Amino acid sequence: MTVEEFFELSAGKWFSHRTSHHLAFKQAEDGKSEINIETLPADHPEVIKLCQQYEVDPSTATCGARVTWNGTMEWDEEKHEGSTVLVTVPDQDSPDEGKLLREMGYAEKAPVAGRYKIGTDGALTLTTEYETMWSEERLWFASPNLRMRVSVLKRFGGFSMASFTSEIRMGGAPAKAAEAANSVNTPSG
């Protein structure tokens, strides 16, 4: 799988269920949201704009996505709404890894460029370094209708959080909505 194929397969509406394990407290926190992922062509105005913010030549971008979310976390019971744009800029010598530009990092409200790498097993790994934090997220498809994500967060050199997200496709391509809603069945069974 290429990173472009991974983005294509991610397009659509998902029910996203995240559980964070706060390692020092041995406590879990649950969050649920609806996520909408829309792929953007490499020449889309928002892709070009983001490249320019990072001072990256827009012609080197290969794909983009707009991710919109709407949900709640258990502990603060606040509504979390937001959206971001992601853009992949492969390394010159290796199309399977490169820079990942994003409008806004999950944990900090300033633009942060991370790295992506798509493995031979089809899993996508994203790493981001912030000033005092480091995060790594692995995303993969158990089936076209079930996407999974595991992330770890390091603060000041020690792991502080591990999160797991299961995401069920709510309808649209590539599988029929009814199947996805009932039992996360896939065409391949």
Q: Identify the residue whose tokens are 């790295």.
A: 115
The CB-of-184 to its own copies minimum distance in angstroms stands at 4
162 binds its own copies (CB under 8 A): yes
| Residues of this chain, 63-92, that bind its own copies according to CB under 8 A | none
164 binds its own copies (CB under 8 A): yes
- Do the Cβ atoms of 107 and 114 come closer than 8 Å? no
The CB-of-29 to its own copies minimum distance in angstroms stands at 10
15 binds its own copies (CB under 8 A): yes
Q: Which residues contact 153 (CB under 8 A, 6 or more apart)?
A: 107, 133, 134, 135, 159, 160, 161, 162, 163
Q: And the tokens for 58?
A: 């827009």
The closest of 83, 4, 1 to 41, measured between CA atoms, is 4
Q: Does an H or E element contain 181, and which?
A: helix 177-183
CB closer to its own copies out of 26 and 109: 26
The site for its own copies (CB under 8 A) is made up of 15, 17, 19, 21, 23-24, 26, 28, 30, 32, 119, 121, 142-143, 146, 148, 150, 152, 154, 156-160, 162, 164, 166, 168, 182-185, 189
